[in-house]
Amino acid sequence: MKEEDFKKKVEGLGYKINKFKQPGSCYEIYGLNKDGKKVEVYFNPMDASVVKEENN
């Protein structure tokens, strides 16, 4: 999935992206979830499914 398409999909899921990274095989975002809580989320870059989510 292209980075721009990924960002649109993730924002459509209710996440607010403050920082985006692609350090390896996953896309990472640092931002807020739909409840307004700080999160660090790792996504599968093929379909934007959540691999791991950590609340900060």
What pLDDT is recorded for position 29?
96
Domain of residue 31: give its range: 3-55
CA distance 38 to 3: 21
What pLDDT is recorded for position 24?
87
What pLDDT is recorded for position 23?
87
What pLDDT is recorded for position 5?
93
CA distance 50 to 42: 6
What tens-digit pLDDT sequence spans the chain (56 residues)?
Answer: 888 999 999 999 999 999 999 988 899 999 999 999 999 999 999 999 999 999 97
How many structural domains is the chain composed of? 1
Question: What CATH code is carried by the domain that includes residue 7?
Answer: 3.10.450
For the chain, what's the residue count?
56
What pLDDT is recorded for position 41?
96
